[in-house]
Amino acid sequence: MLRIVFTDWASNIMTKTDNPLLQHWTTAFGVPPFGDIKLEHFKPAFDEAFITQRREIDAIADNPLEPDFANTIDALERAGKLLRQSASVFFNLCGADTSDGLQEIERNVAPLFARHSMETLLNARLFERIETLFTGKDDLGLTPEQHRVLERYHTMFVRAGAKLQGNDRERMNEINQRLAVIGTQFSQNILKDEEIYELILEEGPDLAGLPDFLIAAAKRNAAERGHEGKYAITLSRSSIEPFLKFSQRRDLREQAYRAWVSRGEGGGDSDNRKIVVETLALRSERAKLLGFDTYAAFKLDDQMAGTPDAVENLLLSVWQPALVRATEECENLQKMVSTQGGNFDVEAWDWRYYSEKVRKRDHDIDEAEIKPYLQLDQIIAAAFDTANRLFGLRFRELDTVSAYHEDVRVFEVSNKSGEHVGIFLGDYYARSGKRSGAWMSNFRSQQKLDGTIRPIIVNVMNFSKGGEGEASLLTFDDARTLFHEFGHGLHGLLSDVTYPMISGTSVARDFVELPSQLYEHWLSQSQVLSKFATHYKTGKPIPDDLLQRLLAAENFNQGFATVEYIASALVDLELHQLAPFDGLDVTEFECETLEKIGMPRQITMRHRIPHFAHVFSGDGYSAGYYSYMWSEVMDADAFKAFEDSGDVFDAGLAEKLARHIYSAGGREDPADAYKAFRGRLPGIDALLEKRGLA
């Protein structure tokens, strides 16, 4: 666990020879030597790595020889090894195991990274070489993969502003540096709000309705926060969501819910609303410099969707049936309130509680009955076994390889021939210093430009750890999240390309969720659950009748889930088509937009604007939160191919899936890649059927 006391930011006492971040790693499989890396290593490592890569870039740009693919694109792909090595460790720790010291460094280096990147992307001599190659690409004798890499480089430079002149170039540089600063601050503000909040519960009525697994987790949370003998609910989803499902104390549910949905708008130093407005204004200005009317138009121009209209059409086509279903669900909840003697209207903090009661009534199932059969270790094993049956992968835990925290598990991945494929790290538990949510990242991506470089992939979750000597139990949504992120992990592990530019998940944002969301489908197969869903005390498999009830209830509450998601996606899209931004009240805009689309007052956006990290912690999903649904159209259609075959592990389909989707990286245009697998592009029908909205 990296928890080093921060030393003076300005100090640069380390030398290249004694700084592990600047050395060639001789550890097993090239895993970062986490135990040797100290906080004070990062600043001098970045200083050295920036200088080294700048020399490499200048040498490429100033090469007196005529540009060719080898001396320009190949050279760019090789440049920056030291920086990638240092940055991969640093930014992964900033998300998964941060500290005050790391956060201070992060605030300081964010603009430095932005400036360094823009110095490359706005290098006129370098772009001239790329432009020359791109113009004459058909006469260069390139492979299809090289064509794709050259096209992506040219697009990246143009979209960064390489064709801008004079003051516009300078302004673009300033914009990107400022966005890096405030994006970092946005993330840190959310983490601060999440770490500060705690709902302290006492023995007795405060615990009414809470199942044993949640009480145990809350007791451990309290002890870790210095409240021995009490219980604490935190803003981690693995804590707050089950509390909202089971707590009989309506007053406490409201208190916890309001804290959860108000992250980032508390009015103090961690309030994100001004950051949102500044971010939107800067993004809009950047888009206009590049010739686009809005930032959404700019962002979507390089995605599968293409235009904001295409995104809006998809979202609204699903919104209406989802809204109808959510309205029906709300009516059922209100009836349940009345049945139980309640004399109040259902509110947002009531939805999960009464929804669980309706599910129990209608499907004879509840979370407390299911959870004992969903052990974390068993669901991990299920994800691994599915990968073995589909792709022939094998996983061996490496107890002798240390990671950045004692909870992180390390696995070697090999193929059916026993050949090394990569390293997989699983970081599953919620803890202080880890941002909320779940994600996949890498410490090293796959490539074959100079020999075969195998990937080091990490999945990060925030599940509640079981009590001392107890199994860690998951909800079915937790299990689905694990499969989802492991699908991303497989996208990185199975990558089989030559160039880092197109490795693994380096694909269009509205295509990248296809491998992850598709993988979720296998969790819901009875042959998977009947094998791996075993009781944590008895070891007995889940009873067949319970399994069938679980699967029959899979689309329960789907109106709610779809509405909370689409509302977030529509607000994201609307925000990035606004201008001007003077006087924009973020909270007021959110309310007005939701009223316009008919958002039920009993449902809140899945991610409200002040804590919408997907959109404002960086550019990743900005004007792109729709991507999950765009990809879902494909994943529903893709899995139907397996269902129609009569075997969800059909070997022929699995081989095509691996070849065209999981291992192809960004080698092909996403639409072409999907058609190569399925033979055609998908329609929306399979998605509506999957969500039970047809």
Is the confidence at residue 126, as pLDDT, over 80?
yes
Question: Model confidence at 376, in pLDDT bands (50, 70, 90)?
Answer: very high
Report the C-alpha gap between 495 and 503 in whole angstroms.
6
Instruction: Render pLDDT for 412-447 as a digit per residue (tens, 0 to 9).
Output: 999 999 999 999 999 999 998 999 999 999 999 999
Residue 662 lies in a domain: no
- Categorize the per-residue pLDDT at 372 as very low, low, confident or very high, splitting at 50, 70 and 90: very high
Out of 608, 625, 642, a domain closes at 625
Handedness of CA 428, 431, 433, 438 (dihedral sign): positive
8-state DSSP, 67: P
Going through 172-324 in order, the beta strands assigned E by DSSP cover 199-201, 231-233
Whether 485 is catalytic: yes
For the segment 574-601, the average pLDDT, to the nearest whole number, is: 95
Q: Are residues 471 and 395 in the same domain?
A: yes
Same domain, 78 and 39: yes
Q: Are residues 79 and 156 in the same domain?
A: yes
Q: How confident is the model at residue 9 (pLDDT cuts 50, 70, 90)?
A: very low
Same-domain check for residues 415 and 282:
no
Averaged pLDDT of the chain: 95
For residue 526, give the CATH number of its domain: 1.10.1370.40
Q: What is the pLDDT of residue 13?
A: 39
What pLDDT digit, counting tens, does each position of 85-118 carry?
A: 999 999 999 999 999 999 999 999 999 999 999 9
Expressed as residue numbers, the domain containing 529 is 372-552
Q: Is residue 426 part of a domain?
A: yes
Q: Give bridge partners of residue 395 from the DSSP assignment.
A: 413
Is residue 131 located within the same domain as residue 158? yes
pLDDT at site 177: 96
Residue that terminates a domain, selected from 205, 240, 261: 261
Residues 134 and 109 in one domain: yes
pLDDT-derived band at 16 (thresholds 50, 70, 90) equals: low
Q: Are 152 and 78 within one domain?
A: yes
Q: Is residue 180 part of a domain?
A: no
Domain boundary among 625, 651, 685: 625
What is the spatial distance between Cα 671 and Cα 10, in angstroms, rounded to a whole number? 49
Whether residues 255 and 277 share a domain: the answer is no
Q: Is the pLDDT of residue 579 over 60?
A: yes
pLDDT, tens only, 457-500: 999 999 999 888 889 999 999 999 999 999 999 999 999 999 99
Q: What is the mean pLDDT of residues 588-608?
A: 97
Q: What is the mean pLDDT of residues 535-558?
A: 95
Instruction: Spell out a b/e string for 623-658, using b for 16 or more CB atoms within 10 Å of the CB, else e.
Output: bbbbbbbbbbbbbbbbbbbbeeeeebbbeebbebbb
Give the pLDDT confidence of 240-265 residue by residue, as tens digits: 999 999 999 999 999 999 999 999 99
Share of the chain above pLDDT 70, in %: 98
Percent pLDDT > 90 in the chain is 94
Which H, E and C letters describe 97-141, residue by residue? CCCHHHHHHHHHHHHHHHHHHHHHHCCHHHHHHHHHHHHCHHHCC
pLDDT in tens, 65-90: 999 999 999 999 999 999 999 999 99
User: In this structure, are 289 and 314 located in the same domain?
Assistant: yes
167-188 burial, b at 16+ Cβ within 10 Å, e below that, comes to eebeebbbbbbbbbbbbbbbbb
Q: pLDDT value at position 3?
A: 29
Report, as an integer, the average pLDDT of 300-319. Answer: 97
Cis peptide before 455 (omega within 30 of 0): no
417 and 316 part of one domain: no
Q: Is residue 178 part of a domain?
A: no
Amino acid at 246: F
Least-confidence region, from 162-171, 307-316, 468-477, 593-602 = 468-477
Q: How many CB atoms lie within 10 A of CB 554?
A: 14
Question: How many structural domains comprise the chain?
Answer: 4
pLDDT higher than 70, residue 11:
no
Through-space distance between the first and last CA atoms of the chain, rounded to whole angstroms: 48
Q: What is the CA radius of gyration of the chain?
A: 25
Is residue 297 assigned to a domain?
yes
Whether 489 is in a domain gets the answer: yes
Q: Three-class SS of residue 292?
A: coil
pLDDT band at 580 (very low <50, low <70, confident <90, very high): confident
Residues 583, 479 share a domain:
no
Q: Which of 145, 312, 485, 520 is catalytic?
A: 485
Does residue 8 lie within any of the structural domains? no
Question: Is the domain of 78 the same as that of 157?
Answer: yes
In a domain, 325, yes or no: yes
pLDDT of amino acid 368: 86
CATH number of the CATH domain containing 308: 1.10.1370.10
Alpha-carbon distance values, 171 to 165, 179, 278, 323 (Å): 10, 12, 15, 43
Mean pLDDT of 317-327: 97
